[in-house]
Chains A and B, each alone.
Chain A
């Protein structure tokens, strides 16, 4: 039986594996292009680290959202509420441990910061579970309603935050050992930004591992491409989606903690402020692509810092500009997901 298949000419054309590596160059190219414009190497180092830190935080926040859209075509404009929720929760948790956060000991700082992040992730994940049940599930497949009801959910969430924590801006100081800067040659690099980069890389590595090495990850990637086929193979995609939604909400909570510490103060609207940014990032990356989201987030972070220094007036719309340019190059984003 097999001999019939082996020799036929059509079979022998060997398609080459040529993974799309071009986008991986975007981040280094942007950084290198900026270098001569900066005037001094130390400024460039400072801004680049700041940009990468910002990009990593945005990635942590946006990574779940891109999968939520990819898997179920759900447009969740309420994602920002988990950011604010995470940040406020962390503030409350850290507030109970001022002895440890004020200490100069890194270990004590971490002992305070880790539970704060954990609580933010767990509660944001739990609220995400409820959000999916109550707000998202009734509007599966109806984009207009999704936009309206998730925005509504976000407004309600913001008001609840005001009820619990008040409407005023609340300072969120960094734990003592995270403050200050390291000197790399002439360049001052804030410690917290390095920490943010490390955490961002860790989250990316973990997601990459899950998506490429585990069966659940495989199912998620397959589901983003062809939901019906995943179901036809006998898997419950709804369950998978709920899991992804909860994980995405928890990551948004974590990102919220990091964003709050980055800004060092909190407002109930901080979620909606980041919302636009994360949508730009996932559109740049290609809806449903985690790798694209990562690159998009780093580009947005770097560009915001570079333009903020060079041409502050452009900084206001540099993200939009970046999105336009990327979409002119690749209309479906950096890594278009093969959908049927």
Chain B
């Protein structure tokens, strides 16, 4: 296998006085969708935020596309070609859908400059965005906001997408849309690191899977392997259920 697009080695992250990540080792291979699973509070969001430079790793290395990005600031990391869909979606509520997309398209100065073919493709994935193009994004429903958040991440080609729980709070029908959209996204060879709680969602999309607990990766391998091995699921994800209660 060629070198992974993204490699975290022994990454520790402190938030204030709290030690949250305890040496995370994680590879994300080029062109694959890697799912990051784990119970609430395991450190999944913190891992993504650390990759994005929103938290500074206190130890360890983060290599992306052959470069060490551990010391870079967030805007530089984004400019390296990483797009981030945060857990809270990060929608600019007072701006229109169009303006949200325009900001995500760094190369465009005006809405007309956004690559039309790509936009048509995105509207195909998420028709609601076309319908509400000139509406304030704050008026969108939760599911539509999530679609806008994903759409922003793909309005220009990026090397890697970091997506934090796109199924969170969505009705089953909308989750199905989301799965369809990610399937189509995978056809374009985009590399994706997807945080998910919803195993049903995760198993339909993941090529590889990493499971986190307590700020460490406790399992990583092929998704197919985990999807078939009920014992392993029980051990890794049953544990996550127990920790819920």
Contact = CB atoms under 8 A, between A and B. Distances in A.
Interface of A: 1-2, 4-6, 8-11, 13-17, 19, 215, 218-219, 221-222, 225-226, 228-237, 337-338, 340
B171 A233 contact: no
A215 B102 contact: yes
Contacts of B144: 11
Contacts of A226: 90, 92
Contacts, number: 115
Given A11-B144, A215-B102, A17 B90 contact: no
Contacts of A5: 125-128, 147, 177, 180-181
B95 interface: yes
Interface stretch (B3-11, B22-30, B130-138): B130-138
A14 B132 CA distance: 8
Interface of B is mostly: helix
Interface stretch (B34-42, B71-79, B193-201): B71-79
Interface in B125-173: 125-128, 131-132, 134-136, 138-141, 143-144, 147, 152, 171, 173
Given A4-B180, A5-B127, A232-B52, A340 B88 contact: yes
Most central of B102, B127, B136, B141 by chain A CB within 10 Å? B127
Interface of B: 52, 54, 73-75, 78-79, 84, 86, 88, 90, 92-95, 99, 102-104, 106, 109-110, 123-128, 131-132, 134-136, 138-141, 143-144, 147, 152, 171, 173-174, 176-177, 180-181, 183-184
B127 A2 contact: yes
A215 B123 CA distance: 23
Nearest to A219: B103
Contacts of A337: 94
A233 B177 contact: no
A1 B102 CA distance: 24
A2 B124 contact: yes
Interface of A is mostly: helix
A8 B173 contact: yes
Contacts of B183: 1
Contact of A17 (B131, B139, B180): B139
Contacts of A230: 103
A229 B124 contact: no
6 residue pairs, one from A and one from B, having the closest CB atoms: A234-B78, A229-B90, A15-B139, A338-B93, A231-B74, A2-B124
Contacts of A215: 102-103, 109-110
Nearest to A232: B84
B74 A218 contact: no
Given A5-B177, A10-B173, A11-B127, A234 B79 contact: yes
A221 B94 contact: yes
B92 A234 contact: no
Given A8-B174, A222-B103, A236 B94 contact: no
Contacts of A11: 127-128, 131, 141, 143-144
A15 B136 CA distance: 9
A17 B184 CA distance: 31
A17 B125 contact: no
Contacts of A6: 127
A218 B75 contact: no
B222 to A, nearest CB: 25
A7 to B, nearest CB: 9
Contacts of B109: 215
